Amino acid sequence: MDFKNKMLMYMLYLVLFKTVFSQLLSETSSSRIFKRFDRLENDVLVIRDDVLVIRKALKEESDIFREDISTLFNELRNLRKDMDEERKRRIGDISTVSNRLTESGQVERNDKQPVSITQQLSCDCGAVASQYKNVINAFKNEKSENIVLRKKFDEIRKKHDFEIGNLLEMFNNNVSGLKSTDKSLRSEIDTIKTETKANLSATQKLVHDSFVVCQKDNNYARAYFDEGLMRLNASLTNLSLNAIHEISRITSDIASLKTQTQGCYTSSCEVKDCSELLSSGAALLSGVYTVTTPLTHTKIEVYCDMVTDGGGWTVFQRRFNGSVDFYRNFSEYENGFGQKDGEHWLGLKFIQEITSSGAYQLRVDFKRWGETKGYDVYENFSLQPGTNYTINIGSRLQSLGVFKHSLNGAPNNSAAGCAFSTYDHDVDKHPMNCAETYRGAWWYNACFDAINPNALYGGPETHEARYMMYGFSDADRLALAAITMMFKQA
């Protein structure tokens, strides 16, 4: 690669560097500035390498020129030496000739044989003169050639001096330009370093400030969390204590219940209903218990409601999901059906036997579709002796959610004083079979007025008289979702 091409490449490097650097300056991100800075340093190193190569090339060329000049000097020296030798030789020849001439003159003056000498001399002088002439011509030629060589040497030397001067000037200019560029680059690098340092300081301050804020937030959150945790621990401790207390109470209740239940399987435990079970002193839960009927001493299972209105209620009818079919014959109503812990009918004979032994209240609880609840309570409930199981119902004590109807209201419609009818045991006061017509079993009058608790189990939209209902309003006549009928000692 010659010098011009290298200079051209160098200029290209400079342009490239300027472009890169101007782009570098436009960057704001410190990481990008760092990357550009690295590239810039690489470019500077490449340029420095090129300068070294240029310097080396210049030196080599300069050495070559020096060698050439030295060679020329040597040649010139040799030429001079040759010329001197030749000149000496010619001078020697001339001297010889001159001596010979002198000698021949002496011979002419002293020799007594001048003719032969003259002849000899004329013969030798012609040859010597010719030789001398040749020598002179050769010398002239040599001199002329010597002058030409000297001229050429001067021209070459001038030319080389001029080229060396040009090269030196170019070299000095390049070095000066490189020094200027280097200075400029160093200045720009310093500027970038300063800016980067400032950016780094600002970023460090920002990070530090953010860290301080985060730390404060973190401390606040931790304190809040710790406080919450303490509160939670306290709550959990209270809950645990309450739970332990509750578990202890329930365990005690279960133990009492077990004792009571087991006791009632023995002949010594003779409670006739849930009222007596409750008043026996144990803290009891609602559920199925065994009682002994007061007259026939029959042990039967009954469901006791120990919650409603003080508890002690013996349930004789319970419906809440339609799982048990209540359209049944008289015998089944007399003896009972269903599961005591689910939907069931206790049995007319058991209701009759228990309620005949004392004063009992009758309570009806019901729930309409949509969760509206109601109840109806009467005094003096019992079933008269005999197989018709005629119902006695006293005054209404309290009620909720029952409209104008009641169990002992209108003489032609209320249940009070009526016998119990099923589809196969029509003892109602109407010519037709009320139980069959209205798909129930009840103390039908002629036939009933909005109260048909053992009829078909209907849905939320059912509003017909053959569906389970109790004291509906004339407006809705909707079926019930659940109903419970029970008694307890007054």
- Residue 332 tokens read as 């089944």
Residue 352 or 422 with smaller CB distance to Ca ion = 422
Q: Can you list the alpha helix ranges (DSSP code H) found in 265-288?
A: 274-279
Residue 305 or 428 with smaller CB distance to Ca ion = 428
**Binding map of Ca ion across residues 176-195, x = CB under 5 A, - = no contact:** --------------------
Sign of the CA dihedral 259, 264, 269, 270?
A: positive
Residue 273 or 428 with smaller CB distance to Ca ion = 428
Residue 434 or 451 with smaller CB distance to Ca ion = 434
**Binding map of Ca ion across residues 386-415, x = CB under 5 A, - = no contact:** ------------------------------
CA distance 84 to 47: 55
Residue 378 or 389 with smaller CB distance to Ca ion = 389
Contact flag: residue 332 with Ca ion (CB under 5 A): no
The residue whose two tokens read 């000149």 is: 87
Residue 218 DSSP SS3: helix
Least Å distance, CB 471 to Ca ion, is 23
Size of interface with Ca ion, in residues (CB under 5 A): 3
**Binding map of Ca ion across residues 99-138, x = CB under 5 A, - = no contact:** ----------------------------------------
Q: Closest Cα to residue 407, out of 457, 449, 367, 466? A: 449
- Residue 321 tokens read as 């999901």
Contact flag: residue 428 with Ca ion (CB under 5 A): yes
Least Å distance, CB 483 to Ca ion, is 24
Q: Closest Cα to residue 253, out of 228, 222, 284? A: 284
Residue 315 or 391 with smaller CB distance to Ca ion = 391
The residue whose two tokens read 């013996």 is: 314
Least Å distance, CB 474 to Ca ion, is 24
Least Å distance, CB 246 to Ca ion, is 55
Least Å distance, CB 383 to Ca ion, is 20
Q: What is the DSSP letter of 442?
A: B
Contact flag: residue 430 with Ca ion (CB under 5 A): yes
> Footprint of Ca ion on residues 214-233 (CB under 5 A)?
none
Least Å distance, CB 434 to Ca ion, is 6
Residue 343 or 428 with smaller CB distance to Ca ion = 428
Q: How far is residue 24 CA from its own chain's centroid?
A: 36
CA distance 485 to 467: 17
Per CB under 5 A, the segment of 136-144, 229-237, 238-246, 426-434 that binds Ca ion is: 426-434
Confirm if 336 and 350 have CB atoms less than 8 A apart: yes
Q: Closest Cα to residue 374, out of 398, 397, 399? A: 399
Confirm if 449 and 300 have CB atoms less than 8 A apart: no
Per CB under 5 A, the segment of 187-195, 197-205, 358-366, 427-435 that binds Ca ion is: 427-435
Contact flag: residue 273 with Ca ion (CB under 5 A): no
Torsion of CA 423, 429, 432, 434, to 10 degrees: -40
- Residue 64 burial by CB count (10 A; 0-12/13-18/19+): exposed, middle or buried? exposed
Per CB under 5 A, the segment of 52-60, 100-108, 359-367, 421-429 that binds Ca ion is: 421-429
Residue 7 or 446 with smaller CB distance to Ca ion = 446
CA distance 346 to 350: 7
442 contact partners, CB below 8 Å, separation of at least 6? 415, 420, 421, 434, 435, 448, 451, 452, 453, 454, 455
What Cα–Cα distance (Å) separates residue 288 from each residue in 263, 302, 326, 354, 421? 14, 5, 20, 17, 28
Contact flag: residue 39 with Ca ion (CB under 5 A): no
Least Å distance, CB 409 to Ca ion, is 20
Confirm if 13 and 50 have CB atoms less than 8 A apart: yes
Confirm if 447 and 428 have CB atoms less than 8 A apart: yes
Q: Which of 93, 379, 426, 436 binds Ca ion (CB under 5 A)?
A: 426
Per CB under 5 A, the segment of 179-187, 190-198, 238-246, 423-431 that binds Ca ion is: 423-431
Per CB under 5 A, the segment of 16-24, 53-61, 392-400, 429-437 that binds Ca ion is: 429-437
Q: Name the site residues for Ca ion (rule: CB under 5 A).
A: 426, 428, 430
